[in-house]
Structure formats: structure tokens, C-alpha cells
Structure 1
Amino acid sequence: MAERKPIISFRNFSFQYRAQKRPTLTDIDLEIYPGERVLIAGPSGSGKSTLAGCINGLNPFSNPGACTGTLTVDGVDAPHSSLFELSAHVGTVLQDPDGQFIGLTVGEDIAFALENSCTPQDEMHAITRHAAELVGIENHLGYAPHELSGGQKQRVSLAGVMVDQVRILLFDEPLANLDPATGKQAIELIDEIQKKTDTTVLIIEHRLEDVLWRNVDRIVLVNDGTILADLRPDELLSGSLLAENGIREPLYVTALRYAGVDITPDKHPAHVDCLVLDDTDTQKLRDWFTARPRPAAQPEREPLLEVKGLSFGYQKGQQTLRDVSFSIGKGEMVSIVGRNGAGKSTLSKLICGFETPDAGEIFLNGKPLAEENIRRRAQHIGYVMQNPNQMISKTMIYDEVALGLQRSGLTEEQIREKVEATLRVCGLYPFRNWPISALSFGQKKRVTIASVLVLDPELILLDEPTAGQDFRHYTDIMEFLRGLNARGVTVVMITHDMHLMLEYTRRALVFCDGRLIADRTAAAVLCDPALVEQAALKETSLYTLANRCGIAPAQEFVERFIEQDREVREGGR
């Protein structure tokens, strides 16, 4: 039998950006074979995106830098090739599909590469149609990009790179902006495409459990610009390398560890449905469950925010929110969840006064907010957007945080005291004289939280507080928000992250098609398959594990796990 040749081969490869003092990648030796599916995982700043950029030619052709060693991609000497030449071999689907749209319609967008290579019209139509059918978007060819959901946009991006009949598909954080159910579908779609076309698939993602919904052949773990492990998923999950490098292992694996189950590759821990547990393992889980105390009941709280009969539509005759009513108590921490377009962000705009309701009322501390303008509401309600760059207007950190106090009647000295105290709470005091441009995405997020917090709001509303954060930065931000909550600030979060909802908020408001369809504990929501499906959420693997082991009620198993996980986290801080 002829020896298989790798389709991607790094030999003693290093890469240093022109603007950096030291290499981002060092001594990379890695071979990927045709038809393989490889997950590249690593914390933020580990070098995984740089590795991908070297494969598709962004490094060094778009981001200048120096390479040493060799890199061959589908027979091409990548560092000495060109972006155009490599694009015929590697198709890249970006984290933000909006950044990849060129055409005015779906059809135009998919056909873009074919137009560039002067493909005859008839042939172009046939190839475009075929690519659209491959990804299941053939009924939307006449749609404009803004008419599509996040998941549909991603399908279009994928079809756009499929028309070139590339042999390598590279996905850069494909799950970052998708609701849980759409994320699951995205992984299924990647799986399906790979089976139909036998392309080589590389996925860069730190949400390990979500990617492992479908099989991958290997996980390459990257940190500090080097490869720490290149193992089958079952082998990597059996060790401690993931936790040591700030990557969260699947929740069911952590639950098994808490119960004292020894995790080995032959137990197939890569997927909850394939787990091989013997009677002893199952008994250990049951014993752990019965030994754990029940979580304490939550105290009754005085209402802070009350929403009654709220309805709103951006256009006449179209309702984005319909007859929504709920109450949030002082000092609560609550999640708002549901698919993209369910009305979650619209609700926050109505609470902040950016939009005016068509019907219904909103009360804060028993007073109607209808008479309060945006500025007056902002003294009580802080709003933190998903993308910090859309909130920042100053060059320096100190100035950005001080901005909201400028016309408050305080003296310069009082403003300085307040700003510095807030920067200390947010862990930003050492950077107070830095320009914002020097900060990471997560640090910018903290600046936006600080600029809201300095006004002493009673309620903070956050839209996707952890989007795009790896596990360590995610934990930092969430523990920081929990600390604020412990000081008495009420925290409400709009999120697609089911882990976040489970771990940090005891209560979840579930939206679907503009209606509030459930108001329950987070564990109760994720243990209700019908509700999960209706709201495009994703069942927790802890629920699956509890059912497999005959532990009932599964909801209590999930709640006890969360309680222990919180204790472990606090003990490790």
C-alpha cells in the first residue's frame, strides 16, 4: 500500500509578526492527512489563530511577519506562495459571517469566487446551485444578507468557499455568535459536508464539548505558541492537560471526576452518548448524588424591576415582543435566553429607554419609567453591549470611565476618587493611564462595565458578557460580576451560553417568538427537552448523564453538580 502523504505539513516552523518582539509560533511540527477532522484548541492568545492564518495565507501575506522552517499546504510551499493561490486549496469560514459577505444577495455572494475566475454564466449558475444545496440554503438564493439568521449566514459563508472545490476547510470559532441549537446544527453541517466531499476539516474553537457533538479524529492543544498535545479526544479527555491550559472539559467528565470515577480512554469520554460506565462507576455517581446536600432555598426578594404587559414592534403590524410580564428582585442574578431574534435585545432597549413600548409598563422600585428619559434611567440602570468597541468613545481608560460623571456636579477630585475606586473593583487600576487600544477584548469589556458601574446603578444589563472569551477570561469576568452581585448590584444577562446560565444564575427567563415562555431555575429549563427544543437551547450533558445512570430527578443532579462546581472554583481562587 502506498504511503499516505500529509495534506498539511509543518516542519520545525516558527512565525513572528513584524510588530511583535518574539515569535507567536515556535518549532511547530504537525502533519494533517487528507480527510481528517482536527480540532485546534487553546486559550486566547495561545497562537491557534496564528497557526490557522499560516495555513490559509493570511500570515504573512495580509499580516506581515517572518517564517522559519517549512509549511506545505496541499503540495504548495505556503510561505512562498500567495493569498490567491492558497485560497484555491483552503476555504476559510470566519467567526463573524457578516465580515465575509460581499454580494447583495445570497446567490451573488456564493458566486463571487466564480465571477473572479471568469466562469461561464451557465456553469456558474450550476455550481452555485450545487454549493447552496450542499449547505441547505438553496431556497434563499434571492435573499439579502440582513434577512438571514446567524446560522443561515454561516451556511452562505460555507457555500462561498465550497464553490472553489477546496480540499481543506478551516473554521475559525464557528460557534461564537450562534444560539445553542444553531451551534449544534453548525457542527452537524460541518460533519455532513465532510462526509459528502471528503475534505480535510480544521476547527479552531475553545468550546470543546460543543465541537465534540460530532466526532473529530484528533485534538491539537496549543499554548504559548507551541503544540502541547496531539491526541485522540478520548486520550486527551482522560488526562489533566485541558484543565491545566484553561480549556473547559465537558461537564459530564467533570461530574464523573467529582464522583471519583477514574477516566480512561477505554471509557470513551469524548461523547456522553458513547460513555462506557460499569456498575461500579454508576454506583459512585449515585453515591455522590445522595451524599451531596440539597441547595438551600432562595429568600424572597423585594421587587426592583417589574415589567407588565409589555408589547413592541419596530414596524406597524409586526410585534417583536408580545404581552411580556415578569419581576426581578433586588440582588438577583438572572439570565435571559432564547434563539437569535426571540426579542431579548429588544427587551433591554425598552428597559433602557432606547425604544418606547406600544403597550404595557416598566417599573423600577415601584415607580413607572415612562417619564424618565434615557439619561435619568442610566443613573439607575447600566447597559453593557456585547461588543465593547461600540461603547468606547475616548482614547484613554481613565477618560472613558470618567465620561458619565462629567456633568454630575462632582468636583474633579471627587470624580477622580470615584473613577479610581471603580477601576480597582474592575481590576483595571494598574492600567488607568493606558490607551484603550492596548487592551485585549476581555479588558475592553471590563472598561465598559467600569464606565457603567461608576454611576452606581442598581441594575446592570449585559448583552452576551462572555462572547468570544476563553474559559479563563470567561471565569474572570463572571466571578467579577458575581462579586458585584454580592455587593448588592442586581445583574441581568442576555446569553447564548448554557454553561454560564447554569453556573451563575439560579433563574432563567426563556423567550421565543417575542413571548416569555418560561421563568424557572436554570437547571429546570435545561432538563426540559420540549422547552429546550422550542427555545433553540441545548440540553445539558449532565441531564443525559443522570438519565443514563437512573438518577432522578435529573434536575436535582444538575443543581448539586453546579453547587459543588461553585465550591471547587471558590476554593481554587
Structure 2
Amino acid sequence: MEKRPIIEFKSFGFQYFSQAEPTLEDINLTIYEGEKILIVGPSGSGKSTLGNCINGLIPFAYKGEIKGSLEVAGVNTQQMNIFELSKKVGTVLQDSDGQFIGLTVGEDIAFALENDCVSLNDMKDKVAKVSAMVDMNHLLNASPFELSGGQKQRVSLAGIMVDDVEILLFDEPLANLDPVTGKKAIELIDEIQKETNKTVVIIEHRLEDVLHKRVDRVIVVNEGRIVADMTPDELISSDILTGYGIREPLYATALKYAGVKLQPDMKPGMLSSLLVDKVAHNLVNWNEKQLVEESIDTRPDILTCENLCFQYNKRRRILQNINFRIKEGEMVSIVGTNGAGKSTLAKLICGFLKEDEGKIYFQGEIFSDKTIKERSKLIGFVMQNPNQMISKSMIYDEIALGLRIRGVLEKEIEERVDKVLKICGLSPFKKWPISALSYGQKKRVTIASVLVLDPKIIILDEPTAGQDFHHYTEIMEFLKELNKKGVTILLITHDMHLMLEYTPHAIVLANGVKVGDSSAVDILTNEEIARQANLKITSLYEIAKMAGIYDATSFVSKFIQHDRKELAYEK
């Protein structure tokens, strides 16, 4: 039976009134009932604008000029209002907190039903049904703000499903989730889609993570245009992703390094579907030819924590007996579950919180009794949410603020601000107001405002969340260059690729306890540590095992070593 089109863009274009150029141009796209579609593209490519057109935020919330037509469920969106569209398209936002209305999970899920004056008995039945589907029926009386990131997302999903919408739209659902919670989120979306046959549209940077489960088509957007519309098998077999600066799955890169010419009939769109038998000998041969280069780090310690303990209240310790040493000039990942204590550890190092027990040393000297002001001359901290750091209305003033407070001359301030604007890809926006920036661009402003102060240690909380691969690489390569000059960098992250590629040393926390302190390769090939800390074993390790490579950990080391050389060569 032929499926009916449920979303149809015909010669569609959109230009925000505040922009000089169109954000979307000549979009021709048909999505059919029951399809699962992934939309990817660099930051600023127009993929989020595409999503906002589907759910009605354009033109009802964000004003601009529309060309062509867009039909949702057979009706032109310009003939509907946002309320009518919300009955057809349900949206789960990147920031779940911004979507909550009720004081309890049950109230929040029931909100749309209350608006529709549904009877109390029917309302209870519907809430019970959808909360069970997303496995939140046991937490209906909990406050949404007490939940984990993954649980919040489940509540948001239930809140739109009670309306029995035809289309589920997910805007970067993985951005703030740890790897295992993200994997579970993709499995839940897949499960819901199979059970309900709803049309699912996912907008996401983390392509490999979304392709953990089947996707019908991947739409690649660049500079406001659709540049590819194909199956995952076709896309991974092409050079389109790397051509547009989008990160391809790590296992696909490994196969290319091993001399494999990927073809759709190998089914490389998902690791689970890949016909490994056809390529195993390539991987084995490549692995045998590579040598692992060993090096001994003789640098002195810059930051030491001994038996660090902290708790916000008497019920539960957030950190228990944390011990680690970080050497001068290291780049280190701090990883683990949501709520493991990673951000709390950073706040203790910066002096925002005071440890209950234990000591912190900086270059061998006791650091625990130094004030926040004294520590700020040595340590810079970039928070996860940029809105919590920004205090000025203009980009230049925000980045210059720390230097002005320190009494630096304006001429030197401008030189230093211009330098970091360039490094962080913000030069074109020097005179812009911060309100005109996207979430990802605001993130880069906060990084720039810390980098400009020239600290000895920089701690970054999720520096690449919400960044496309191009900007991610730009920021990380800058941090790597900074690191080469002797600046010690600590990265709190959920990004396993970042951890593998950029940080030789990783510290792992789970439930307030350190469960790992080793090389990133050792951590991401250790199934026990991964299980304890909600990490995801790298697909490099998995494909090596599938190919019959005995020492899969060594294979991962060889890949990272080779990959760094390739990236250096490309520059």
C-alpha cells in the first residue's frame, strides 16, 4: 500500500526579517507517513529552521518571508495557526527544562489534556498509558526538576504523545545526555515509532549515536539547501559527510583507513548491520602493519586531589574520597554518568564550593585555603550553560569584561579579544548583540571570555555540546594548540570521540566515586568501567572484535595514533 505524504516542502524558502540572506532556499522534500528521518548539517545550515517550519514556530513565533509551500498532513501550514499545528506535530526540545509546566510529572504530562477539557477519568487513563510507554509511570508524583536528563526527556515525550500527534519532532535529543542515556533515548524513540507508526523527525549532530537504530533516510542540509537525501547505507558509503564537515561514524573511518571502499550492499549504515566478513581481512592486515608508539610522561604535577569529599546535605555524599594527579600541560577528560559529581568536582577546584574533607594542591602547594579571586588568576572555568555566564549585551564587551576588571589597557584588550574572536570563529560577529546568537555561538563566546584571560588551567564543562563537527574541531584544535603551549585543560564531557581523539588521560566518576583513571583508550575498551559509568564502548573496539582482532584495545590505540597523523597531514 502506498504511503501518504505527511510533510511536503515544495520550492520552499524562508528568510528571517532580521537576516540579510535567506536561511532556507528551494527546499523540495517529501516525508511519508510512518517514516523515521534524520536531519543533519553544520551549525547555521538551516536544519533547526527546517524543524521550526514543520512545528509552526515559523512563521508564528519567528517572523520572516516565506516562499513556496509547506503542507503538513495535507494542509498548507499558512492556513493553520500554531495551536492547530501543535495537534499534528509534537516537539521535544534540546533543553527539556524549558518545556516543563506542571509541578509533578503527572501534571506535566496531563497539561495538553487539561487545555482540551478532557474528563478526569479519561485524563488519568491517557496519562497512565503514555507514562507506561516511556517507563515513567512509577514517577508520576515526582517533580520534573528532580529527574535525570534522560527522565526529563521521557516526560517531554509523554507530554506530546497524550495529544496523539501524527509527527514527533526531536531537536537535538542527545545534546545533554551521557552516552548510555543517549543510547536508551534512541532505543525509546525507535520503540515508540514501531508501536505507534508515527512519523519521526530527528535533528541531531551525533549521527553515529542516532544510527544505533534504523533510520529510513538521512537529509543533509548545508547553507540552507538540501544537499543529500539518501539511506544511511548510501550516505556512509559516500564522501558527503566529510565533504560538508559532518563527523562520520568512527568505524567507517577505520574501514577507510584499512583501504575498504564502502558500498551500500555492505550495509555500513549501522554497525549492527555491517557485513563484517567482507572487510575483516582488511582490518586485520591494517592492524598488523601499525606500530604503537609508547612515551613516558615526566612532567611535574600541577593539580592534585587527596581524599576529596563533599555533600550538599546529610542524605548523600556527592563525592567520596576522590584521589587523582594531573600533570602540567595535560589534556584530561572527566567523564561519567549524569549526576556523578563531575561539575561538583570542577566547582571545588575553582573554589565555588568548599570541600568537607581532603585537600587540593596546585603545583605542590595547598590550594584549599585560597579565595575564588586568587584561584581565578590560575584557573578559568567555562560552564555548560552559556546563559549562566553571560552578563553583557554585546559580544565584544562580554569577552573584554575580565580584562577590563583587571585594569588592562583598551589597546591591549582589543588585540587580545580580536585574537580569540578569530580562534573561536566569532570574528564576523564582533559588533553583534549576544541576543542574536544561537546556543552554540553563545557557547563559543563564553569559551572566548575565559581564553582571553590566559589562565594556567582551563576547565570546560561540555565544551562541544550542540556544536557541529566543524566548530567542534575548530574549538578542540585551538584547545590542543593552547595545550601545546603548556596550558593544562580539563574537559567534562559526554563525547566519547572527543575523549578518544584529544585527551590521552581520562578520569571516570560514577555515583561520586572514582572508578577509572587511565588512558582514554583503556577506559573506552573496558566493559566493566563503561557499565559502571554509563559510557559507551567505542565502535572501534566493537568492529575490531567483530573482525576477530585478538587485542581490540591495541587496535583502538593504533587508530587514534593514525587518525591524529592524518588530521595533522590535512592541515
Q: TM exceeds 0.5?
A: yes
| 1:360 equivalent in alignment to 2:363 | no
Residue 399 (structure 1) aligns with? 397
Alignment of 1:285-364 (within 5 A): 285-364=283-362
1:550 partner amino acid = G
Residue 193 (structure 2) aligns with? 194
Alignment of 1:415-494 (within 5 A): 434-437=432-435, 439=437, 441-494=439-492
Residue 35 (structure 1) aligns with? 34
Residue 74 (structure 1) aligns with? 73
Residue 270 (structure 2) aligns with? 271
RMSD: 1.8
TM-superposition CA deviations, 1:136-179 (whole Å, max 9, x none):
10001000011100000000000000001111111111101111
Q: How far off is 1:265 after superposition?
A: 0.4
Residue 149 (structure 2) aligns with? 150
Residue 533 (structure 2) aligns with? 535
1:109/1:160 contact within 8 Å kept: yes
Alpha-carbon separation, structure 2, partners of 1:422 and 1:234 = 40
1:67/1:79 contact within 8 Å kept: no
1:295/1:559 contact within 8 Å kept: no
Alpha-carbon separation, structure 1, partners of 2:39 and 2:109 = 27
| 1:224 equivalent in alignment to 2:223 | yes
Comparing 537-546 with 438-447, greater Cα deviation is found at 438-447
Alpha-carbon separation, structure 2, partners of 1:422 and 1:73 = 44
Q: How far off is 1:442 after superposition?
A: 4.5
Q: How far off is 1:23 after superposition?
A: 2.1
TM-superposition CA deviations, 1:326-381 (whole Å, max 9, x none):
01000100000001100000000100001111100000011111221000000111
1:71/1:77 contact within 8 Å kept: yes
Alpha-carbon separation, structure 1, partners of 2:222 and 2:428 = 26
Alpha-carbon separation, structure 1, partners of 2:426 and 2:5 = 46
- Structure 1 residues 192 and 17 mapped into 2: Cα distance closer, same or farther (>3 Å)? same
| 1:568 equivalent in alignment to 2:558 | no
Q: How far off is 1:46 after superposition?
A: 1.1
1:201 partner amino acid = V
Residue 242 (structure 2) aligns with? 243
Alpha-carbon separation, structure 1, partners of 2:410 and 2:69 = 58
Q: How far off is 1:398 after superposition?
A: 4.1
TM-superposition CA deviations, 1:201-229 (whole Å, max 9, x none):
11111211000000011111111111111
SS of structure 1 residue aligned to 2:5: coil
Q: How far off is 1:74 after superposition?
A: 1.2
SS of structure 2 residue aligned to 1:260: coil
- Structure 1 residues 380 and 86 mapped into 2: Cα distance closer, same or farther (>3 Å)? same
SS of structure 1 residue aligned to 2:337: coil
Residue 506 (structure 1) aligns with? 504
Alpha-carbon separation, structure 1, partners of 2:100 and 2:153 = 10
- Structure 1 residues 437 and 78 mapped into 2: Cα distance closer, same or farther (>3 Å)? closer
- Structure 1 residues 172 and 450 mapped into 2: Cα distance closer, same or farther (>3 Å)? closer
2:198 partner amino acid = T
1:361/1:370 contact within 8 Å kept: yes
SS of structure 2 residue aligned to 1:235: helix
2:483 partner amino acid = N
Comparing 404-413 with 246-255, greater Cα deviation is found at 404-413
2:522 partner amino acid = A
Q: TM-score under structure 2 normalisation?
A: 0.96
Alpha-carbon separation, structure 1, partners of 2:21 and 2:450 = 37
Comparing 442-451 with 11-20, greater Cα deviation is found at 442-451
Comparing 62-71 with 183-192, greater Cα deviation is found at 62-71
- Structure 1 residues 304 and 277 mapped into 2: Cα distance closer, same or farther (>3 Å)? same
Alpha-carbon separation, structure 2, partners of 1:133 and 1:278 = 40
TM-superposition CA deviations, 1:470-528 (whole Å, max 9, x none):
10000000001001000100000000000000000011100000011110111111111
Q: TM-score under structure 1 normalisation?
A: 0.96
- Structure 1 residues 228 and 209 mapped into 2: Cα distance closer, same or farther (>3 Å)? same
Comparing 322-331 with 5-14, greater Cα deviation is found at 5-14
Q: Give unpaired runs (5+ residues) of structure 2.
A: none
SS of structure 2 residue aligned to 1:98: helix
Alpha-carbon separation, structure 2, partners of 1:127 and 1:564 = 54
Q: How far off is 1:49 after superposition?
A: 1.2
Comparing 405-414 with 179-188, greater Cα deviation is found at 405-414
1:534 partner amino acid = Q
Percent sequence identity is: 57
1:46/1:225 contact within 8 Å kept: yes
1:518 partner amino acid = G
Residue 233 (structure 1) aligns with? 232
Q: How far off is 1:11 after superposition?
A: 1.7
SS of structure 1 residue aligned to 2:272: helix
Residue 25 (structure 2) aligns with? 26
Alpha-carbon separation, structure 2, partners of 1:47 and 1:425 = 23
Residue 169 (structure 2) aligns with? 170
2:258/2:283 contact within 8 Å kept: yes
Alpha-carbon separation, structure 2, partners of 1:57 and 1:432 = 32
Comparing 500-509 with 562-571, greater Cα deviation is found at 562-571
- Structure 1 residues 20 and 455 mapped into 2: Cα distance closer, same or farther (>3 Å)? closer
SS of structure 2 residue aligned to 1:551: coil
SS of structure 2 residue aligned to 1:472: helix
Alpha-carbon separation, structure 1, partners of 2:329 and 2:256 = 33
2:90 partner amino acid = G
Residue 369 (structure 1) aligns with? 367
2:96 partner amino acid = P
TM-superposition CA deviations, 1:392-451 (whole Å, max 9, x none):
222344433333344546555565565556556656567655544455544543433333
1:54/1:79 contact within 8 Å kept: no
